[in-house]
Amino acid sequence: MVGNEFVLHVWGDFACFTRPELKVERYSYPFITPSAARGVFDAILCKPARDPTEAQFRWQVTRIEVLSPPSYIALRRNEVHQDLPALRTIERWMDGRDQPSPLLADEMGKGCLRTQRQTMALRDVRYRLHARIIPWPRHADRLHCFEAQFIRRAAAGKCFYQPYLGCREFPGFFEPVAPDAPGPPPCSWDTDDLGLMLYDVFDLSGPGGPTAPPSVSLFRPVVRGGVVEVPPYESPDVLKPRGAMARDT
């Protein structure tokens, strides 16, 4: 069963979709990756589960429309390279049972946790993102229910967490639009010389959970009139690790 296609108008002041080959000094792709676009839809509606067999659906991004031409800005940011403590530790801090132990990122020379990085980010980004819900086989009969939930939540501006554009400090904002609704046209940009772009960081061929190992996939985007047609994950145009499609979905 093929579900309906949903469209979001997404925008933000800044974005950084880091090219993995330039990880030390962050350099953004010229437009949003399918992985980041999927994350915007996930922020509005997702059905995760600790047990992978209980996962209910995933999002498949089908098209990316670039409404504003890519415009770069150079930023220098302070990044903290230590994870937050476990949730139970933070809860003890909140309850006053333990003394908080902050991350002193600015104590230079004293085991400093701060790393300064140069970032080539995007500014004033605007996209029209198209995606559809792909239910896992056990939940195929609930497709219409999932779609109704998304329509209701997106129309009310509800999300489980604030969508972000590549980095959490770059929030993204959204509004749902009808697939055939009039709107600003994509920018006049044509290129097929972007090389390999990150498609996703997980194996989308089957349900996954919080402990699922990373599985990086890539594809070669082609931009025509500011529009990128995103192939489905199962397509041979998506370069996947060997064995990624061998799992039973």
Range of the domain at 109: 78-115
CA–CA gap between residue 145 and residue 132 (Å, rounded): 13
Q: What pLDDT, on the 0 to 100 scale, is given for residue 248?
A: 39
Question: Average pLDDT for residues 114-128, to the nearest whole number?
Answer: 90
* Structure letter (DSSP) for residue 18: B
- Tell me what pLDDT residue 222 has: 95
* CATH code at position 181: 3.30.70.2660
Residue 110 and residue 225 share a domain: no
Nearest to 158 by CA among 15, 17, 46: 46
**Same domain membership, residue 101 and residue 68:** no
153 & 54 share domain: yes
Is 28 within 8 Å of 194 (Cβ atoms)? Answer: no
Average pLDDT over residues 12-24: 89
In-domain check, residue 39: yes
Based on the fold, state whether residues 95 and 155 are members of the same structural domain. Answer: no
Task: Indicate if 66 and 83 belong to the same structural domain.
Answer: no
62 and 11 share a domain? yes
Strands 26-27 and 164-165: unpaired
Share of the chain above pLDDT 90, in %: 57
* Residue 173, helix vs strand vs coil: strand
Do 106 and 225 lie in one domain? The reply is: no
* pTM, two decimal places: 0.85
Q: Same domain, yes or no, for 67 and 83?
A: no
- pLDDT interval class at 146 (50, 70, 90): very high
**Average pLDDT value for the chain:** 87
Q: Are 165 and 44 in a shared domain?
A: yes
Let me know if residue 19 belongs to a domain: yes
Whether residues 132 and 55 fall in one domain:
yes
Q: Give the chain's domain count.
A: 2
Residue 137 φ/ψ, nearest 5 degrees: -50, -40
Query: Mind listing the pLDDT tens digit for each residue in 53-81?
Result: 778 999 999 999 999 999 999 998 777 76
Flag whether 225 is in a domain: yes
Give domain status of residue 104, yes or no.
Answer: yes
**Residue 22: what pLDDT?**
79
**Model confidence at 249: pLDDT above 50:** no
Report whether pLDDT(201) > 80. Answer: yes
How many Cα neighbours within 13 Å face the side chain of 67?
14
Measured CA distances, 90 to 94, 107, 113 (Å): 6, 22, 19
Residue 209 placed within a domain: no
Spell out a b/e string for 195-221, using b for 16 or more CB atoms within 10 Å of the CB, else e.
eebbbbebbbbbbbeeeeeebbbbbeb
Assess whether 128 and 185 both reside in one domain.
yes
Residue 127, pLDDT score: 97
Q: Is the pLDDT of residue 110 over 60?
A: no
Characterize the bridge pairing of strands 223-224 and 217-219.
unpaired
Residue 9 shares a structural domain with residue 109 = no
